Chains A and B, each alone.
Chain A
Amino acid sequence: MSDIRWRHKDLLDTAELSASEITCLLDMAERFDEINARPVKKVPTLRGKGVVLFFAEPSTRTRTSFEVAGKRLSADTYALATSGSSITKGESLRDTALTLQAMAPNIIVIRHSVSGAAAFLAERLSCSVVNAGDGRHAHPTQALLDAFTLRRHWKGDMRGKRLLIVGDIAHSRVARSNVFLWQKFGVGVRVFGPRTLLPPGIRDWPVEVHDNLDEALAGVDAVMALRLQLERQQAGLLPDLSEYARHFCIGMRHLEKAAPDAVVLHPGPINRGLEIASDLADSGRSRILDQVAAGVAVRMAVLFTLGMRGTSMQEAFEEPGQGAAGA
């Protein structure tokens, strides 16, 4: 594991990380993944540190994943309930932030429906802020767990690999954080989706934009299907859901055009039969449940890194190993 001193207070997006920083996080996640396979999955590393889970948008999976990650590191995690909280009583995000700050947590994990909300908090707070998804902007821990999953599948050999992302790119923070992560590792990203769901300016992104699914699939090493939010159809961006499924749902037959050992990913929760066929989701080509497991390990690495900020990686990492040995 490379020994670097972490220079970021916050984790807001993958775009701000260098390839070696991402590699460092993924290497660390591998070690935490080993710990997660043990009978006793808890290490004392972040004992006495406070992690606030501030989810201002509905989320079960990501919030639970962060909570599990925090608890396995022995951090004290506090979930801020959003329904009935001050957010629905008109308190500004700035005031919510200052209130949270006054409770002196070490890390705030934020999920928010507005692009830039995590950066807004990070600018105003001295504690670390982890972006658990802000609007359409970024979802860095999702992209990191995708990278963790695919790096394993590709046995560490990522350069020259090809990833196809299918679906609603315009509204997807997962797609954005993935595109700008893979760029750093020389992975070719293709995108395919309805033109109404492509973001403006995508032709200038480091991606190949495809209009034909068969061509898009040819030879790819992995396919990532994105969740379709049903409100897109209500907003007039799609004719109807069966039309979408007919043209944009990834099934077993599509993988025949991909590389022989290509796998399929999905950030979840999945709409079976809408963006991913049910048999494919349940097949051996699916890495969806591996992604969930990777999520815990990756989030442990993120919380650990930010929680131990200022400490050298190498020296800091000795501790959980010893702690685990002693457990």
Chain B
Amino acid sequence: MTDDKTCGGHITGPCPERPDGERNTLFLERALVCPGIPGMGGGECDVSARDGKIVACAPHGELEPPPDAERIPCGGKRLFPSFLDVHTHLRDPGREYKEDIGTGLEAAAHGGFGAVMAMANTDPVNDRAAVTAYMTAKAARLHPHGPRLYPVGALTVGLAGKAPAPMGELAAAGCIAFSNDGKGVADTETFRRCMEYAAQWGRIVIDHCEDPSLAPGALMNEGAVSGRAGIPGVPTVAEALHVARDILLSEYLDLPVHLAHISCRQSVELLRFAAERGLKVSAETCPHYLLLDDGLLEGFNAAAKVNPPLRSREDVRALRGAVRDGLIGIFATDHAPHAAHEKEQPLDQALCGFIGLETALPLTYTLVRDGLLNEAAFTRMWHSAPAAVFGIPVNNFAPGDPADFFLFDPDEEWTVCRDTIHSKSLNTPFLGRRLRGRVTAHWLGGRRVV
């Protein structure tokens, strides 16, 4: 951390400054700009950008290409504004053998993300400004054009669930939100006080919903599969109890709360209650909860171990319905890299989690293909919805917006393997699988990063 010391304390906002000075002009022709962007209507468009900002975006033929522009023929490929992942673990500082900020952001760029939020369960925990400053400085140094890194500060000191972390100091250093992700906060009084204190600094709390008293020694979802195989399981009630707790606290305190990695039907039903009352509750789910169920654990497959665990088919159905109906409005990856030796273990020893940054778009795009989402809703869930909850500036193709966008070929097929993945780790149940849909080019601040 020492070589970045000079940067500590100088970062005043969550968004590191981009270097400027160098001029560059882009003109993208015949791109299918996502129909969610106002005024675009889904037809072929041309986009011009200069010095990292959008100049104009209009239906093809309406704009005059600037004479000095690098012209990029897009041939009718889909052009999306760079996405935002509100839930990653970049393992830096402390566990750089799994991932570091350099490789994590590289993976993000290849996955279509222009910004990621990184959880606080590093070593040391991001519960003090020095850690936050180290993270943002390293990101700015290694990826000066982006993807941008928004650290999430620890909600409690050491993530121990006892004393609130120094959120004022952390917010000033650049923490975008606060969370105890990975462990949750068992004690409701502590959680309530943390919600109130975070609000003082204009920050929202992200809760990892899990009642730990209901899950002693759990290695997977409790249900038919765990019962048959004799594997200790955690019931969906452990998640839903804390979802209910947070919804009621949000209403009582009139404060927003964001619920991380929602995985089960009962939580969806509680989110319906919150939506009907118009409460300030937002929720995310991850690609794996929409596509995989706990049947994957039947052969004791530790590659499928994750927390919250993969649930039953019924839960998967309910989550897909919740995404379709907008009860869950945000996608996130919960990118959680682990080394091979940490996953190739019996179930009790294997660590929880999957990498997700580079597989997320092709996986969630299957919901578009399945007719559950249109492209506008798909984009909203990865882009404007999380940006609105966390107050992160994103590209809407309006003049002056950051020139952050990527081309996506929904039909290109590729295999998840060491040669295609930029993350340091390969822990994903999709390893070896062929996925359909790929980010073929990505610009951040007008610079080509992929």
Chain A positions near chain B (C-beta within 8 angstroms): 92-94, 112, 114-117, 119-120, 135-138, 170-171, 173, 176, 199-202, 204-205, 235
Contact = CB atoms under 8 A, between A and B. Distances in A.
Given A116-B300, A120-B300, A200-B233, A93 B227 contact: no
Nearest to B344: A94
Interface residues of B, number: 23
A202 B227 contact: yes
A230 to B, nearest CB: 17
Given A114-B348, A120-B346, A200-B227, A235 B300 contact: no
Contacts of B346: 93, 112, 114, 116-117, 120
Contacts of B232: 136
B8 interface: no
B224 A137 contact: no
A135 B230 CA distance: 7
A205 B224 CA distance: 9
Given A119-B300, A200-B224, A201-B223, A92 B345 contact: yes
B400 to A, nearest CB: 54
Nearest to B341: A92
Nearest to A136: B230
Contact of A201 (B228, B341, B344, B347): B228
Contacts of A204: 224
Contacts of B348: 114
Q: Which of A114, A173, A205 has the most CB of B within 10 A?
A: A114
Q: Which 6 A-B pairs have the closest CB atoms?
A: A116-B300, A136-B230, A201-B224, A199-B227, A201-B227, A137-B230
Interface in B215-236: 216, 222-233, 235
12 contacts: A114-B347, A115-B230, A119-B299, A135-B231, A136-B232, A170-B227, A176-B230, A199-B230, A200-B223, A200-B233, A201-B223, A202-B227
Contacts of B222: 200
B12 interface: no
Majority DSSP secondary structure for residues of A touching B: loop
A295 to B, nearest CB: 21
B224 A94 contact: no
B415 interface: no
A179 to B, nearest CB: 10
B230 A173 contact: yes
Majority DSSP secondary structure for residues of B touching A: loop
Contact of A205 (B223, B228, B300): B228
Contacts of A120: 300, 346
Interface of B: 216, 222-233, 235, 299-300, 341, 344-349
Q: Which of B222, B224, B299, B346 has the most CB of A within 10 A?
A: B346
Contacts of B224: 200-201, 204
Given A92-B341, A200-B233, A235-B216, A115 B227 contact: no
A171 B230 CA distance: 7
B300 A115 contact: yes
B349 A93 contact: yes
A284 B222 CA distance: 41
B224 to A, nearest CB: 3
A52 B341 CA distance: 25
A117 B347 CA distance: 8
B90 to A, nearest CB: 26
A201 B226 CA distance: 8
B227 A94 contact: no
Q: Which of A117, A136, A199, A202 has the most CB of B within 10 A?
A: A199
Contacts of B345: 92-94
A26 to B, nearest CB: 24
Contacts of B223: 200-201
A44 B345 CA distance: 38
Contacts of B229: 115-116, 137
Nearest to A137: B230
A162 B215 CA distance: 35
Given A112-B346, A116-B346, A137 B299 contact: no
Nearest to A135: B230
Contacts of A92: 341, 345, 349
Nearest to B222: A200
A112 to B, nearest CB: 7
A94 B344 CA distance: 8
Nearest to B297: A116
Contacts of B299: 116, 119
Contacts of B230: 115, 135-138, 171, 173, 176, 199
